Structure 1
Amino acid sequence: MPLTFDMSFEALQKYQGINPKPADFDHYWTRALQELAATNPNPELKPASLKAPHGLGTEPDFAEYYDLWFTGVGGARLYAKLVKPVGTALLRRQGANKKGPAIVQFHGYSGSSGDWQSRLGLAAAGFTVAALDCRGQGGLSEDVGGVRGNTLSGHIVRGLTDALEGRPEKLYYRSQFLDTVQLVRVVMALEWVDADRIGVTGWSQGGGLTLACAALEPRIARAAPVYPFLTDYQRVWQMDLAKDAYQELRDWFRRFDPCHEKEQAVFTSLGYIDVQHLAPRIKAEVLMGTGLMDTICPPSTQYAAYNKIKSKKQVVLYPDFGHEDLPGLHDRILEFMLGL
């Protein structure tokens, strides 16, 4: 039986999470999706000014590179790298409708979409690939802000003061979750993409965004989250693991609620952006990767979301691994996405 520092494996398989779910959670996300539907994405697709390595010029034999700009809620202008397969690469995955599948990727906390090179294998296999820069993090997407309270550090707590004052729509991750959906819808509308053959994937923050996106856009066919972040915040606190990626939770309490008089209200407010509460909406087939020694996104928090998924699902376990590279998992995800 796999070992875990967190709780027994039998308990993990039954765990349902402890972070409170706000009473108006479903209405909150209904309103959010209505706002998104009223937001014109106004996409702009421009050939990338890519200084590619030898053999990857501006007109390679299997891929083209584009800077994709689009608009999210609040008017934020957002960026994604987009790689389009061409020639035989495109033909390889086209269906009877002459359209092919796409994979949308989400990056880790505070990072960016990274290098073009990491998408080339998927493009050569016939996938259109879009990689998002999360608003206000390490890439080009803007965060238009407009929240009360501090913005000293951390996106989990951005907008928390507003939420505690009755304006939970100001939470940063509400906008970020909606950005993932907006990007998927832009990709679905591309004339060479089959909207019924869309996969989403990401690690850590990207894993949390993968689950949120699949929950809020039910047309997504496959989702591959790896050790998802942004789930069961109160469990993280209970385990005294509010450090590293979750350090901002500890900082917020130390600065703004040192006696924890608002603790219940804080975790209830964070419940709006807790992906475990969105997970039951997922229709996609799910492949999740989990390291059972993960002290950054503890296994129990990941299982809080996984256990609520009602669609076809499986988890690949790494008993001796934490929040790190999981050998062979990239290949497992590719094999999974080849089913699109």
Structure 2
Amino acid sequence: MPALDMPLEELKCYNGKSPKPQDFDTYWEKALKEMQAIDPQIELIPAPFTCDFAECFDLYFIGVKGARIHAKYLRPKNRKQKAPAILQFHGYKGDAGAWYSKLGLVAEGYCVAALDCRGQAGKSEDVGGVTGGTVMGHIIRGIEDDPQELLFRHIFLDTAQLAQVVMSFEEVDETRVAAMGSSQGGALTIACASLVPEIKLALSTYPFLADYKRVWEMDMTRRAYEELHYYFRTRDPRHEREEEIFYKLGYIDIQNLCTRIKAKVIMYTGLIDDICPPSTQFAVYNKILSKKEHIIYPDFGHEYLPDSDDMNFKYLKEILEKK
């Protein structure tokens, strides 16, 4: 079996190296209260993209810190009953994706909401003092301020708020909602299911944003995690604040959030993933307490995993269509 990380038997027992802040639970309970106090000012604007069997909207709502958040929202026409819903989360630096890519799920009878992460390639606002996208650097954004200013705190809350907005729609069966995504989207799937216990199914493919200290110790901060490399080189070249930095990153480490999940979790991992190391993914999976299944691809890395889309569709059908 190809080896990039620990042997598989060790991975199955690995529980992470990054610290969990002592006030972690209080931090997130306070964050959720802040989000729940917001008037989201929901807007559904008919999209220029049209389809015979789907209604397509640009969905906007106000998130934490006053940011205007955007998602693409599609629902079946001629609905006769409440429909299941799927929340989609994209990869790092990306956006919600093409309208066309969601039509198969809508044709099957699902409502679909695809989030634009604030400050990345889509239409959601980043209110951190600049206009437009910032390309990357989101892991360390706010690291030198109070932990409540961490940008991924706000993005995690955006996923939870999207879930609550969609669940409030009269056409949606709030008891049959799934979250799904790959890489950053896989991490946001875990975050959303952690913060919204009503989520029924989480489909997470090679999740990002986990076990930052392990990434650092493996010297794998050259691609998705390269901002950690540049941060230390430019802001803390002698690592005098290393302990403090990794402690703060613990607030936005999904391995620390995932114990809250109630949903069934399906996770996909390639054992030669050199972007999100397998051990960081296992650190998450091994802490999940709800029903779960880990689908392993020994010869694959951070790439398309054969049959994974078909398996995801099977899980959506099996779990979301149960009354």
- With the length of structure 1 as denominator, give the TM-score of the two structures: 0.91
Deviations 1:248-303 (A, max 9, x none): 00000000000011111100000000000001000000011111110100010001
**1:6 maps to what in 2?**
5
**2:316 maps to what in 1?**
337
CA contact (8 A) 1:158 1:171 kept: yes
Q: 2:170 aligns with which of 191, 216, 231?
A: 191
Deviations 1:287-333 (A, max 9, x none): 11111110100010001010000000001111111001111101111
- Pairwise CA RMSD: 1.3
**1:273 maps to what in 2?**
252
**1:154 maps to what in 2?**
137
Deviations 1:229-252 (A, max 9, x none): 000000000000011110000000
**1:78 maps to what in 2?**
69
SS in 1 for 2:275: coil
Amino acid at match of 2:104: G
**2:111 maps to what in 1?**
128
**1:256 maps to what in 2?**
235
Give % identity: 56
Change (3 A) 1:329 1:106: same
Question: Structure 1 unaligned runs (5+)?
Answer: 51-57, 92-97
CA contact (8 A) 1:3 1:9 kept: no
**1:19 maps to what in 2?**
18
Change (3 A) 1:152 1:189: closer
Amino acid at match of 1:170: E
CA contact (8 A) 1:287 1:316 kept: yes
SS in 2 for 1:161: coil
Distance in 2 of aligned mates of 1:224 and 1:71: 26
Tell me the CA shift for residue 40 of structure 1. 1.2
2:123 equivalent to 1:140: yes
Deviations 1:189-242 (A, max 9, x none): 110100000000000000000001100000000000100000000000000001
Distance in 1 of aligned mates of 2:239 and 2:77: 56
CA contact (8 A) 1:79 1:141 kept: yes
Change (3 A) 1:59 1:296: closer
**1:48 maps to what in 2?**
47
Q: 1:288 aligns with which of 267, 270, 274?
A: 267
CA contact (8 A) 2:119 2:135 kept: no
Deviations 1:167-190 (A, max 9, x none): 100000000000000001110011
Distance in 2 of aligned mates of 1:68 and 1:300: 36
Tell me the CA shift for residue 146 of structure 1. 5.0
Tell me the CA shift for residue 130 of structure 1. 0.4
Amino acid at match of 2:55: E
Question: Structure 2 unaligned runs (5+)?
Answer: none
Distance in 1 of aligned mates of 2:316 and 2:42: 26
Tell me the CA shift for residue 85 of structure 1. 1.1
Q: 2:198 aligns with which of 206, 211, 219?
A: 219
Change (3 A) 1:161 1:152: farther
Distance in 1 of aligned mates of 2:159 and 2:216: 27
Matching of residues 97-116 of structure 1 within 5 Å: 98-116=81-99
Runs of 4+ in 1 over 3 A off after TM superposition: none
